Amino acid sequence: MSGRMAHSALGHRLEELAASGWPPRESRRLGSWQLRANGGVTRRANSVLAAGPFPEGDWLEEAERFYRDRGLPPCFHVSDFSPPELDILLAAADYEEAMHCLMLAASCREIINRAADLGLVCSAMAAAEGTEEFRFPGTGVILAPEVSEPWLDDFLRMEGFPESRREGYRSIFAAMPSPKAFVAIVDQAEPIAVATAVVEAGWAGISNVIVDPRHRRKRAAARMLLALAAWSAEAGAEGMYLQVLEKNAPALELYGKLGFAAVSGYHYRIGK
């Protein structure tokens, strides 16, 4: 297999795993595509994953009806693995282009080695007595196997999301396959950063890497990713992947320093 073909195969596989690791409340097949709905909470969980050839029949009408019946705008996840004509057809139908993103990947070992080059070393993971949590002594990093209401409180606060989004996120987090981790960094008894991870088929999907704006420049994101690389390897993953906006230059710089490289890209097309 050529390098380009291997790259494409990896990107396609990670797109499938990313969809599995971010489960909506409702999902329906449309040929090889997937119609996803989650009450409007997160673009990923409320869009058509249009990977593979066009479905038979009037696929646009069927997709639009699916979202119209749920009071949601029709939205398509258009990736490197969508039919090449799809983006042109949606543009002609007045679908707005939005949120260009990249899928990045790196090996757990590479992340740990690169972090060491940056002066970050992960202490041994230890079980917290009397709880199901794991801690990395000296780092402030805490991992829990299930989402909790206090973690959700911190997540919504750091993202600046309204309380109305809580149930939608709770549903996704509860339905994520295990093993999974809900991570926080605590600094002087205050949570300052959070992230999530889910391990499936030898890969760890990382999402929701958020740092409290008041606590930037404490290397919190790098510390969480290092801890997650160690946890992911322990959980059976050889690599990690994540999705990031193309225009998020600070995040891309950090991920590049830790060894992440782009394997595919995608964007959304949103109808009225």
Instruction: State the chain's mean pLDDT as an integer.
Output: 93
Specify the pTM.
0.92
Q: Nearest CA to 270 among 15, 54, 63, 55? A: 63
Residue 1 clears pLDDT 60, i.e. is over it: no
Contact call for residues 128 and 135 (beta carbons, < 8 A) = yes
Beta carbons within 8 Å of 176's beta carbon, 6+ residues apart = 21, 22, 23, 196, 198
Domains and CATH numbers, the chain: 1-102 (no CATH), 104-264 (3.40.630.30)
One-letter amino acid of 259: G
Residue-wise pLDDT for 84-137, tens only, equals 999 999 999 999 999 999 999 999 999 999 999 989 887 777 887 767 788 888
